[in-house]
Amino acid sequence: HRALKRQRQLRVAVLGSTRGTDLQAIIDNIHEPGSEDPSKINVCAVVSNRKKAYILQRATDHKIPSYFVSCKGPDGKVVSREDYDKKVEKALEPHAPDLILLIGYMRIVSGSFCQRWERRLLNVHPSLLPKYAGGMDTNVHEEVIKAGEKETGCTVHFVEEKVDAGEIVVQKACAVDEKETVSTLKAKVQKLEGEALIKAIEDFRLWKLGVNPLKA
Distance CA(37)–CA(62), nearest Å, equals 19
The active-site residue, picked from 95, 125, 141, 157, is 125
> What b-and-e string marks burial along 9-38, b requiring 16 or more CB atoms within 10 Å of the CB?
bbbbbbbbbbbbbbbbbbbebbbeeeeeee
Answer yes or no: 125 catalytic. Answer: yes
Sheet holding 121-125, edge to edge: 66-68, 42-48, 11-16, 99-103, 121-125, 151-158, 168-175
Catalytic residues: 125
